Amino acid sequence: MARGKKQQENREEIKVRERDQKTVAVKMRSGFKIPHPLWFILPLVAIAFFPILNNGFVNWDDNELITGNPLIRSLSLNGIYKIFTTFWVGNYQPLHILAYALQYHFWGLNPAGYHAVSLILFLGITCLVYFFINRISRKNITVAVIATLLFSINAMRVESVAWASEHKDMLYALFYLAALITYVKYILSGKDQPRGWKFRYLIYTFAFFCFSVLSKVMAVSLVGALVMLDYYYERRLNIRMLLEKVPFVIVSIIIGLVQVKATASTNSIDTSNQFTHVERLLIASRNLMFFFYKMLVPINLSNYHPYPYRAAGLPWPVEFYIAPSFVLILLALVIWSMRKTRIIAFSVGFFIISLLLVLQYIAIGPTLFNERYSLLPAIPLSFLLASGIYLLTSRFPAMKMLSLGLTGVYIAIMFYLTFFRCSVWQNPAKLWTNVISQYPHEAYPYYVRSEYYGRTLGDVRQEMEDLNTSIRLSPTINMAFINRGIVYYQNNMYDSAISDFTTAIRLNAGSCEAFINRGVTLSMMGRYTEALNDYNRSIELDPSKVNNYLYRGYCYFRMGQPDLALQDYSTGIAMAPDNVSMFYFQRSQVLYSMKRFDEAFQNIQAARNGGVKVEDAWFDMLKHAAGQ
């Protein structure tokens, strides 16, 4: 019965497709040329995301990955070698960093260039999504068009496209999709073709996979996606199929171990027992449910979704307890559908597999939920929805106009939400104000926004207002105390500054920034012995920070220990040959006090040549003392 019903459904589908093909043939004979669907899809997508071209950088990884990243400053062989052998901000993503290095070579730190590349990459992804869906839908243009529009014009895509730091999303998705397409070609290659001809598609798949994992480690989920394609195309399980996956599994294990090591270097993986296993399951289930929900209804979006605040013993919010039921119903639906069609099981399986690593069962980073992780999972979900719409219009022709009309309205609403969501990423003030509108009682967004007001806009009043709010909401963010202490220091409020730096040290005894800033403040107050202790501790915590030696050298000099001061200044010059002017300036003063006039004059010349403003009287005095 089930087989007969399925055969009848297949015959009906073939009839509909033949009818569509005849319609196209008639239009072609009549001289009316049917344009390729991408000719109208790509302009729509470009217009929807066009506002990102007016955006700048934001203080949410852009400062570490782009504006403050020394790895992207050189495209020399040595520079490229460093890119491929260095962990950066807890990740190993060499192709991602290399992409920034190429862009920096051409347009420096002009944000428009980086955003233009993001848009171009996303248009490329949109093309590949269309080709992939068109292939797995057996060249059903209706399904491919609807699925591509549902995928690309959605506010949940904005974080990946509008955020310059997310080029890794664009790159890994581009190579990931290329791998999926070549793997489908491998599966569908005719038996009459030479064996090597068919096998080359598998080699292409593996090559694209390697490029993808070198862009972002999430690409290891491709192994599961390939298995789902095997299921979708009804391949028989055999030794050959298993051996095909061995190289992919080996590379996944290697890159996974490398990434774990990279992540551990920044302590961004939660290794504590903050959550029980049951709570972790609740978190993962809730996130899976929210990825479904947010991709269908992309409202109340935010780049920062914090964990819910829970006092000891209090329950989780209600959605955490609903989520496991949602997951069970979803699995039951999949099992029930497997007797009728493979589309649902394939789509849901692909969706879950691509999200497994980021459901936060093992907490990574400070956020509960990240919208950018929906980029690839949106593809199978869009395919499932488009297939459902096509089936509905095929089975019930009377509802065709209504179904397609509602789909068009939905896409129009998504276009509106996407277009205006792009402007949220225009600058840090807009970005974090948007977060605050979603989570007004969360301290972290106020702290991050304060950095932009203070460091970029110079708005000290707004900076202090945000810092005070952040500290009031959560007096545990040590960087908020450090930044407020710096503001107090700049306004000669040294006692208040020391109080804040001391609090920051109490919150994080390993904070190099807190020790160095307290040391500078103590030096300004003439408390050199206490300042020296802080400088020593700061250097012990991070001996690579060059300015630590500048501050400690000054402290030694003021304490009457010029030899130790010279030693620190010389260390700083050796460490940072490209930024040493102030070291030369300070060393000239020490050498003058030691009556080493020739050396003092050489150092003041080096300082002036390096851009340090030197008073003419002081320069002439050293010149005269050196007998020049």
Chosen domain end from 425, 457, 486: 425
Taking each helix axis from N to C terminus, what angle separates 400-422 and 38-48, rounded to the nearest 10 degrees?
40
Q: What is the pLDDT of residues 107-137, one digit of tens each?
A: 999 999 999 999 999 999 999 999 999 999 9
Angstrom distances, CA of residue 440 to CA of 67, 306, 425, 434, 537 = 29, 11, 19, 10, 37
Separation between Cα atoms, residue 172 and residue 206, nearest integer Å? 13
Domain identity same for 22 and 60: no
606 belongs to a structural domain: no
Separation between Cα atoms, residue 600 and residue 623, nearest integer Å? 9
119 belongs to a structural domain: yes
483 belongs to a structural domain: no
Q: How many domains does the chain have?
A: 2
Domain identity same for 62 and 46: yes
595 belongs to a structural domain: no
Q: Considering Cα of 229, then 233, then 237, then 243, what sign does the dihedral take?
A: negative
- H-type alpha helices, 49-164: 62, 77-85, 94-107, 111-136, 141-152, 158-162
Separation between Cα atoms, residue 550 and residue 512, nearest integer Å? 15
Residues of the chain with pLDDT under 50: 1-3, 5-9, 14, 16-34
Q: Which domain holds residue 26?
A: 1-34
Domain identity same for 70 and 175: yes
Q: Name the strand (E) or helix (H) holding 306.
A: strand 305-306
Question: Which pairs count as long-range contacts for 603-609, CB under 8 Å and 24+ apart, including other chains?
Answer: 606/580, 606/581, 607/581, 607/582, 609/581
- H-type alpha helices, 576-615: 581-593, 597-609
CB neighbours (10 Å) of residue 604? 25
Domain identity same for 298 and 365: yes
Chosen domain end from 425, 450, 474: 425
Domain identity same for 23 and 49: no
Q: What is the pLDDT of residues 494-539, one digit of tens each?
A: 999 999 999 999 999 989 999 999 999 999 999 999 999 999 999 9
Neighbouring-strand partners of residue 269: 364
Domain identity same for 298 and 395: yes
Domain identity same for 336 and 381: yes
Domain identity same for 25 and 121: no
User: What is the predicted pLDDT for the residue at 597?
Assistant: 85
344 belongs to a structural domain: yes
Amino acid at 131: F
Task: Tell me how long the chain is.
Answer: 628
Domain identity same for 294 and 264: yes
Q: Indicate the DSSP class of residue 237.
A: P
Domain identity same for 100 and 3: no
Say which residues have a Cβ less than 8 Å from residue 279's Cβ, sequence separation at least 6. 316
585 belongs to a structural domain: no
Do residues 58 and 163 lie in contact, with contact meaning Cβ atoms separated by under 8 Å? yes
User: What is the predicted pLDDT for the residue at 16?
Assistant: 45
User: What is the predicted pLDDT for the residue at 315?
Assistant: 86
User: What is the predicted pLDDT for the residue at 190?
Assistant: 66
Chosen domain end from 379, 397, 425: 425
591 belongs to a structural domain: no
Burial of residue 336, with CB atoms counted within 10 A of its CB: 0-12 exposed, 13-18 middle, 19 or more buried: exposed
Q: Indicate the DSSP class of residue 364.
A: B
User: What is the predicted pLDDT for the residue at 270?
Assistant: 56
Domain identity same for 6 and 115: no
Domain identity same for 162 and 290: yes
550 belongs to a structural domain: no
Q: Which pTM does this prediction carry?
A: 0.86
